[in-house]
Amino acid sequence: MLEDGRISSRQATFLMSTMIIATVVLFVPSITAKYARQDAWLSIIAAILAGLLIARLATTLGLRYPDKSIFEYPEDILGKWPGKLVGLLYVCWFLHLNAEVIREYGSFMVTAFMPETPIIVFILVVVSIAAYATINGLEVFSRANEIFLPLIVGSVIILFILALGQMNFHMLLPMFDAEPEDVLKGAIAPEGWFGEVAVITVLIPYLNKPREAHRVGALAVLTCGGLLLLDAVGIIALFGPNLVEAWLITTLNGARMIIVASFIERLEAVIMIIWVTGGLIKITVFYWAAALGSAQLLKLKDYRPLVVPIGTVLVSLSTLLHPNISDLLQFLTSVWPPYAIIVFEAGLPLLLLTVSLARGIRGARV
Q: Quick check: 268 binds another protein (CB under 8 A)?
A: yes
Q: Quick check: 88 binds another protein (CB under 8 A)?
A: no
- 162, amino acid identity: L
Minimum gap (Å) between residue 233 Cβ and another protein: 16
Q: Quick check: 323 binds another protein (CB under 8 A)?
A: no
Kindly tell me which residue out of 263, 298, 299, 323 binds another protein, with binding defined by CB under 8 A.
263
Q: Quick check: 27 binds another protein (CB under 8 A)?
A: no
Q: Quick check: 304 binds another protein (CB under 8 A)?
A: yes
Q: Half-sphere exposure of residue 340, counting CA atoms within 13 Å on the CB side?
A: 28
**DSSP letters along 170-219, please?**
GGGPSTT-S-HHHHHHHHHHHHHHHGGGGGHHHHGGGBSSGGGHHHHHHH
Decide: 34 and 214 in contact? Cβ < 8 Å.
no
Number of residues that bind another protein (CB under 8 A): 62
Kindly tell me which residue out of 84, 85, 89, 177 binds another protein, with binding defined by CB under 8 A.
177
Q: Quick check: 313 binds another protein (CB under 8 A)?
A: no
First to last CA, the chain: 16
d(CA 137, CA 155): 27
Kindly tell me which residue out of 4, 174, 324, 358 binds another protein, with binding defined by CB under 8 A.
174
- The secondary element (H helix, E strand) that includes residue 264 is strand 264-265
> Interface mask (CB under 8 A) for another protein, residues 89-118, using x and -?
--------------------x-xxxxxxxx
Rg (CA), the chain: 20
d(CA 86, CA 84): 5
Q: Is the dihedral of CA 150, 153, 159, 162 positive or negative?
A: negative
Kindly tell me which residue out of 8, 9, 60, 333 binds another protein, with binding defined by CB under 8 A.
8
Query: Helix, strand, coil % (nearest 5) of the chain?
Result: 80, 0, 15
Kindly tell me which residue out of 50, 126, 291, 328 binds another protein, with binding defined by CB under 8 A.
126
What does the binding site for another protein look like in residue numbers (CB under 8 A)? Answer: 8, 10-11, 109, 111-118, 121-122, 124-126, 128-129, 131-133, 135-137, 140-144, 146-148, 170, 173-174, 176-177, 239-240, 242-243, 246, 253, 256-257, 259, 262-263, 265-266, 268-269, 272-273, 276-277, 280, 304-305, 307-308
